Structure formats: C-alpha cells, structure tokens
Amino acid sequence: MVERKSGHIINISSIAGIEVYPGGSVYCATKHAVNAITKGLRIDLVKYGIKVSSISPGMAETEFSLVRYHGDAEKAKAVYAGLVPLNAEDIADAVEFIVTRPKHVSINDIQINPAQQANTYISFRNT
C-alpha cells in the first residue's frame, strides 16, 4: 500500500472501545487499543494516501457470546433476549459504505448500534 500510495485499512473495534461497562475491563481495554492503533495508523499513513477507518458495533449476534459463556448456548442467547441485535450483514454494509466513498472522502469512524441499544449497558428490551 505504501509503495502504491493507496489502500484502505478497516479495523473492527467495538462500542466497548468508546465507553466501558461493568465487568468488561479487559475486553474494553483491548478495544480501546484497537482504536488507538487505528488513530495512530491514520496519522502515520495519511501521507501515503492510505485511508484508515474503524467500525465500532454495539450488540451484534456472533459466536462471541457463545465463547464468552464457554459454550452455554442458553446464556449466549439470553444476551440478546428482547431486542433485535446487529448481525454480520449490518457490519458488512458499513464496510461497503466506507470503501465506496469517493477518493477524496475518508470515513474515519462509525459506531453502529441496534436501535434498542443506547450505550454499552443501557438497552430497551421488549418483555
């Protein structure tokens, strides 16, 4: 990319990289690091015409909850109970949006949440 003087790096972070939540100190710290790397790369690579973007999803239904709860599918499913979480296609749409901007436009950061999620720990759940 440096030799070509063009390219685009998109890092997938998390809303946890923007604000912390109880019990998430290690995960939040790693996502804050992703955001710091993204910002640093953006500064270092701008002179080469390389764009650097990040996407910070809120609640997205992935295998993460299953891993987090050590394979307990009921606990993993309960994370999203009463709301409609993001899915992989929602994040892919954001990636597509970023990479299809004109050459003179750079989307630095996108935070994307489900409509029922206000921040890392406040969500409206239908009961």
Point out the residues that are catalytic: 27
Burial environment of residue 103 by CB neighbours within 10 A (0 to 12, 13 to 18, 19 or more):
exposed
Q: Measured between alpha carbons, how far is 100 from 106 in angstroms, rounded to an integer?
A: 10
Q: Measured between alpha carbons, how far is 101 from 11 in angstroms, rounded to an integer?
A: 17
Q: Which residues contact 109 (CB under 8 A, 6 or more apart)?
A: 35, 38, 53, 54, 55, 56
Q: What is the 3-state secondary structure (H, E, C) of 66-84?
A: HHHCCCCHHHHHHCCCCCC
